Chains A and B, each alone.
Chain A
């Protein structure tokens, strides 16, 4: 900086309009400041992701580092059946007299609820996207797509209260479930949150397939359905997969709907008509009620870190698959 100014100094003294030059120099300084500021904002995004990782993992670390917590919670206690009054069992009741901290009931519950949600949401979302993108007349499309996108903005707490107050009663009287609140109710309500997501992104992916694909297939005598299903959908596969992956992430991480509609009993069972407790609902229900730094708090942060790790791994893996697939497609079609 200094040598630069020395070089400029004589020029200034000779110049006829020193104020203009000063203004120019000020403008250059502003320019630099703006560049630094926006770069810092960009870097902040990276720093924040790093902070999120560090602080969620840090909350769980005492389980591994603090001798007192290590004595209370062993890896066996987290993962293996523990002897109880009624034989060996997998239980989650961290505040019981003899705390039980098996992760399996919560993982099984998460799997059940997310499984139901995706089994409903994936076919429904993709089919609806095929309709709006491939079959619907233009007028219908211009209404249906924004309608579904707008409805995606219904806050999940309202979907949860719908499930709790209305859907649960309707399903119980229709199917005679023993339990009013169960994995199926929660899963269906969760599907309502996931479908619009899958729908929107699948529709975008289908629309991005070049019209020439469709024209070629139709010209060869394929029906509209065959064109859509056998030509357009495979061509859009990476985008559709991205949509489904986002749906999985949302289904696994969604909290309020499940907290309100699943019944929250932590048990390992394959029965969809029984209540269940998910990882996310457990964190939300219990974290408000623990002392920070306690073993229980560390356990909940461990669950959070697991949720985080799962989502991150899923996205990284899916991203890599999509990139490979896209590269192959680009290479395969000269």
Chain B
């Protein structure tokens, strides 16, 4: 009899939990580059608004936009320019004009293993390496070894950004190994003597960021060069919403753009808007 009672109680508990409504929650999905930044924001924001649940998942900018089209997320994190066709798909789905908000700045950084003597390359050299037209470091003035390329999975905004800015219409070499996030690329290059990869400026532990050689000039990704656009691979990190922000989402968005929110951008390795 007592066993029956506890079973019933358990069932009741499970049922009440199972059917609880997911009120006051915001889902954010998209760019893996931005996941770390958003998690920092979410942590600080939750401390001030304990009632709001935030759910953050990566997968890539393309994934985030796809989820937004399907209605499976409130906010898409996108680390590349949003194509007009994507905005059109959103508009068709929801009937409202989608909203794109810049939330931080980033410079796509190329990095090599510390043992590699190269410290600067031209965009053309990088393009030749990632397009597979140059296979050995010696052809770029480096050691006599094969270039081991690391890229990102094809749905990542960083992947598309680099393809559009570096490869001039080509595709990446089929030898390039796609990885699921900037962190993965950094950790792979930090353990691969002849590796080269790219990602957000956020992480460079165990790898050496390359300067970009433009004529006689060499530009590092710094806050100044990125904000001024002198660093050639500067980009805005954006939130895309299906329509004007409402409710908790608006609360979160306004907070992110406020001084309080922007104060966390640096800690994540990116650059605040102002």
Contacts and interface: CB of A to CB of B under 8 A. Distances in A.
Does a CB–CB distance below 8 Å link A and B in the complex? yes
Interface of A: 85, 89, 91, 93-98, 100, 105, 169, 178-181, 263-267, 274-275, 285-286, 288-292
Given A93-B154, A95-B155, A180-B188, A289 B175 contact: no
B184 to A, nearest CB: 10
Contacts of A105: 174
A39 to B, nearest CB: 26
B170 interface: yes
A178 B146 contact: yes
A288 B177 contact: no
A100 to B, nearest CB: 8
Given A96-B154, A285-B178, A180 B170 contact: no
Interface string B143-157: 001101000011100
Q: Which of A100, A181, A265, A285 has the most CB of B within 10 A?
A: A265
B174 A266 contact: yes
A285 B153 contact: yes
B174 A180 contact: no
B174 A93 contact: yes
Interface in B189-205: 191-192, 194-195
B177 A181 contact: yes
Nearest to B160: A95
B134 interface: no
A85 B177 contact: no
26 contacts: A89-B174, A91-B174, A93-B154, A93-B171, A95-B62, A95-B155, A97-B169, A98-B171, A100-B171, A178-B194, A180-B191, A180-B195, A181-B177, A181-B188, A263-B177, A264-B179, A265-B177, A266-B174, A267-B174, A285-B153, A288-B59, A289-B59, A289-B62, A289-B63, A289-B66, A290-B63
Given A178-B194, A263-B177, A290 B66 contact: yes
B66 A291 contact: yes
A97 B154 CA distance: 11
Contacts of A95: 62, 154-155
B70 interface: yes
A314 to B, nearest CB: 29
Contacts of B172: 93
A180 B192 contact: yes
A266 B172 CA distance: 11
B178 A265 contact: yes
Interface string B117-141: 0000000000000000000000000
Contacts of B162: none
B180 interface: yes
A264 B155 contact: no
Main secondary structure, interface of B, reads: loop
B153 to A, nearest CB: 6
Contacts of A85: 170
Contacts of A289: 59-60, 62-63, 66, 153, 155
Interface of B: 59-60, 62-63, 66, 69-70, 145-146, 148, 153-155, 169-172, 174-180, 188, 191-192, 194-195
Contacts of A100: 171
A281 to B, nearest CB: 10
Given A97-B171, A178-B194, A264-B179, 13 more contacts: A85-B170, A93-B171, A93-B172, A169-B191, A180-B148, A180-B192, A265-B175, A267-B175, A289-B59, A289-B63, A289-B66, A290-B63, A290-B66
A203 B66 CA distance: 50
A91 B154 CA distance: 14
Contacts of B153: 285-286, 289
Given A95-B154, A97-B169, A288-B59, A265 B176 contact: yes
Nearest to B132: A86
Contacts of A97: 169, 171
A302 B155 CA distance: 19
B139 to A, nearest CB: 15
Q: Which of B145, B148, B174, B191 has the most CB of A within 10 A?
A: B174
Contact of A179 (B59, B148, B155): B148
Q: Which of A181, A275, A289, A292 has the most CB of B within 10 A?
A: A289
Contact of B180 (A91, A181, A285, A291): A285
Contact of A275 (B145, B146, B175, B191): B175
A89 B145 CA distance: 25
Closest 3 pairs between A and B when the two form their complex, measured CB to CB = A289-B155, A95-B154, A289-B63
A181 B192 CA distance: 9
B192 A291 contact: no
A89 B188 CA distance: 28
A62 B13 CA distance: 43
Contacts of B191: 169, 180
Nearest to A294: B66
B148 A291 contact: no
Contacts of A178: 145-146, 148, 194
B12 to A, nearest CB: 24
Contact of A292 (B70, B175, B192): B70
